[in-house]
Structures are given as structure tokens and as C-alpha cells.
């Protein structure tokens, strides 16, 4: 890729997106211009980030250079959205802004960045290991080239889904908040193993392998979730005893409501 990329907010998720692209030499460090809010983050990136990218503090005059990059990745927290001000007199009129902010609509992006064609993207942390999921909603007047560049940033590390904007909040809830929910489930099940006397490390390993194996089984044998459940639930057996407890504690409802809550929170950010 030969374009210069500006990254507005170089935190966890921006690093997760950009690092694999630098590792694979898909983009060059000298073509990456990022801006952060604090002196502390600036120093930390300069000292510890293993690629020699250009980095600026948001209040420095030099940081204005980012607006000359044709492609911007907006990756600040939604509460810092209002702090980002588009520069006047942009050199090019063919600028692309890719926002990964939860909840901030294309309409809002377009109003705030009138000299950019805007795209909303939701991605998730498993992109770090090449197993991400990325949802894309295109704004108005997006060109073929803009689409190509956007996809190129994510296609190597994630499966891409293109849809209209109204799916993005629920997509975010499932795929972006989902890893935290799964981590919590892994932790809780491991604690169950611990309660039964297993060492912590072994218990956690067993849970992770069991989850991976279960997903593979569902996919490879093309089983529905209820078919799989019935296969391991014998009358009067151990599994139905476990499931009874989960039904009594409303686990199913808790999980459904957790996704609805995450989606609603994403809408609130908008
Ligand atoms: N984490 C995830 O799994 C995930 C997944 C999908 C989408 N997202 C979205 O990605 C966005 C970033 O999340 P994150 O977890 O990466 O957050 P983060 O680690 O807190 O990173 C935010 C970055 O924005 C910088 N920043 C804050 N104000 C700024 C300003 N005025 N100008 C320039 N930079 C500024 C921060 O700099 P300082 O460090 O100096 O404050 C930091 O580098 C959020 O909008 C979130 O909705 C996150």
C-alpha cells in the first residue's frame, strides 16, 4: 500500500489494526502518522513501539501534518470525538476517514469531517491473532478505491461483513464486547474446575480447549446448537443437572440482556 495513513488515537485497537500490517510490510512505518493526547503516550510509543512510525501529541503544531494523509483511521474513545477538529484547506479533496468509534453515525462523521468521505467500521480484538471480525458500513459518495483501501486494512486479519449502518451497534455488541463476555465465561468455568480441586492453570486450559473443540464440532459436523446439546445430555445425567442450575439462575436471559445492553450503550454514544 502506498498511501500515507494518519491514525487519530493510537491506543489498543489502533495498534491491533496497524501492527500486523507493519509486520507484513503491507505499509511502511514512515507512511504512518499517528497522534495521541498525552505526552506520556507519546513517549511510551517512541520508546516501546517496535516500529519507527511518526507520532505526535495532539496539541503540538506538528500534529497538523496528519491532515495531509489521504487516509485517516479515527480511533479515539467516543467521548473524545468532539475534540478532533478537521483542518482547513486540505490539500486533497479525495480524503477517506475510517471511524472505529462505537455508536458515532456516518451522518455525524460527515458533518464533523465535511472534506472527507466517511466509513464506519466495527472490528474486534481477535484481529491481533488474525481471527477478527470486521463490519463495514459505507458512507455516501464512497469510491471503489476508498472501498479497496478500507478492506485492505482489515482483510488480512479478519473476516469482513458489509452491511447498512443499522446493523453496526448489534454487530459491535456481539463481536466487540463478545470477547470480554467469553473471557468471563472462561474464568467462571475455570473457577468451577478449581472448586472441584483442579489446579488453576490446568482448569483454565481445559476450559479453553473444550470451548475450541465444541465450536469445531458445531462447525465441522454442521450441528445445530440444540442437536449438540441433546448429544451430550442424557436422561438423569450430569449435564442436565448442570443445565438445570443455569436455567434456575437465568443464565440464558442474562447473556441475551448483556448483548442488548451493549448494543443500547453503543447507540447512546451516537
Ligand atoms: N478495544 C476494543 O476492543 C475496541 C474494539 C472495537 C472498537 N473500539 C473502539 O476503538 C476506539 C478506541 O478504543 P481503544 O480501546 O483503542 O482506546 P484507548 O486504548 O484508550 O486509545 C484511545 C487513543 O486515543 C487517544 N486520544 C484521546 N484524545 C485524543 C485527541 N484529542 N487527539 C488525538 N488522540 C487522542 C489516546 O491518547 P492518550 O493515550 O494520550 O490519552 C489513545 O491513544 C473506541 O472508540 C472504541 O469504541 C475498541
pLDDT in the model for residue 91:
78
CATH number of the domain within which 185 lies: 1.10.3730.10
100 lines ligand 1 (CB under 6 A): yes
Exposure string (b/e) for 159-179, b if CB count within 10 Å is 16 or more?
A: eeeeeebeebbbbbbbbbbbe
130 CB-contact burial (10 Å; exposed 0-12 / middle 13-18 / buried 19+):
exposed
Ligand 1 pocket: which of 7, 11, 14, 267 to mutate (most atoms <8 Å of CB)?
11
Virtual CA dihedral for 183, 184, 185, 191, nearest 10 degrees? 110
CATH number of the domain within which 29 lies: 3.40.50.720
CA of 77 to the centre of ligand 1 (A): 4
Residue 172 domain-assigned? no
**Ranges of the chain with pLDDT below 50:** none
Show contacts of 78-86: CB within 8 Å, 24+ apart.
Answer: 78/102, 78/103, 78/104, 78/269, 80/9, 80/37, 81/112, 83/37, 83/58, 84/8, 84/112, 86/112, 86/113, 86/114, 86/115, 86/116
Cβ neighbour number for residue 143 with a 10 Å cutoff: 12
pLDDT in the model for residue 1:
76
Q: Which domain holds residue 240?
A: 178-269
CA of 36 to the centre of ligand 1 (A): 9
Q: Are residues 97 and 12 in the same domain?
A: yes
Q: Are residues 121 and 204 in the same domain?
A: no
Ligand 1 pocket: which of 75, 113, 182 to mutate (most atoms <8 Å of CB)?
75
Residue 173 domain-assigned? no
Q: Are residues 149 and 33 in the same domain?
A: yes
User: How many domains, the chain?
Assistant: 2
Residue 19 domain-assigned? yes
Q: Are residues 137 and 183 in the same domain?
A: no
70 lines ligand 1 (CB under 6 A): no
Q: Are residues 119 and 71 in the same domain?
A: yes
pLDDT in tens, 124-183: 999 999 999 999 999 999 999 999 999 999 999 999 999 999 999 999 999 999 999 999
Handedness of CA 121, 173, 85, 109 (dihedral sign): positive
171 lines ligand 1 (CB under 6 A): no
Residue 190 domain-assigned? yes
Of 69, 165, 164, whose CA–CA distance to 115 is shortest?
69
pLDDT in the model for residue 168:
95
Q: Are residues 124 and 219 in the same domain?
A: no
End-to-end Cα, the chain, rounded Å: 32
CA of 101 to the centre of ligand 1 (A): 8
Q: Which of 135, 164, 193 is the last residue of a domain?
A: 164
207 lines ligand 1 (CB under 6 A): no
pLDDT in the model for residue 208:
98
Residue 108 domain-assigned? yes
Amino acid at each position: 500500500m502506498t498511501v500515507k495513513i494518519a491514525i487519530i488515537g493510537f491506543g489498543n485497537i489502533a495498534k491491533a489494526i496497524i501492527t500486523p500490517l507493519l509486520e507484513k510490510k503491507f505499509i511502511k512505518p514512515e507512511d504512518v502518522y499517528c497522534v495521541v493526547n498525552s505526552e506520556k503516550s507519546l513517549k511510551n510509543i517512541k520508546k516501546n513501539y517496535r516500529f519507527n512510525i511518526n507520532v505526535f501529541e495532539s496539541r503540538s503544531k506538528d500534529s497538523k501534518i496528519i491532515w495531509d494523509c489521504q487516509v485517516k483511521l479515527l480511533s479515539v474513545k467516543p467521548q473524545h470525538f468532539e475534540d478532533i477538529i478537521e483542518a482547513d484547506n486540505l490539500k486533497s479533496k479525495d480524503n477517506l476517514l475510517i471511524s472505529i468509534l462505537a455508536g458515532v453515525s456516518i451522518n455525524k462523521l460527515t458533518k464533523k469531517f465535511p472534506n472527507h468521505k466517511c466509513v464506519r467500521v466495527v472490528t474486534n480484538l481477535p484481529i491481533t491473532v488474525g481471527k477478527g471480525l470486521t463490519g463495514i458500513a459505507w458512507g455516501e459518495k464512497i469510491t471503489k478505491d476508498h472501498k479497496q483501501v478500507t478492506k485492505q486494512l482489515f482483510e488480512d486479519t479478519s473476516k469482513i461483513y458489509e452491511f447498512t449502518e443499522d446493523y453496526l451497534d448489534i454487530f459491535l455488541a456481539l463481536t466487540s464486547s463478545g470477547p470480554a463476555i467469553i473471557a468471563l465465561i472462561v474464568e467462571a468455568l475455570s473457577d468451577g474446575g478449581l472448586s472441584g480441586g483442579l489446579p488453576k492453570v490446568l482448569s483454565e486450559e481445559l476450559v479453553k480447549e473444550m470451548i475450541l473443540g465444541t465450536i469445531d464440532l458445531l462447525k465441522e459436523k454442521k450441528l445445530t446448537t440444540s442437536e449438540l446439546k441433546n448429544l451430550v445430555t442424557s436422561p438423569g445425567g450430569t449435564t442436565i443437572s448442570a443445565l438445570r442450575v443455569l436455567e434456575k439462575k437465568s443464565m440464558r436471559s442474562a447473556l441475551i440482556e448483556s448483548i442488548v445492553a451493549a448494543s443500547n450503550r453503543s447507540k447512546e454514544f451516537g
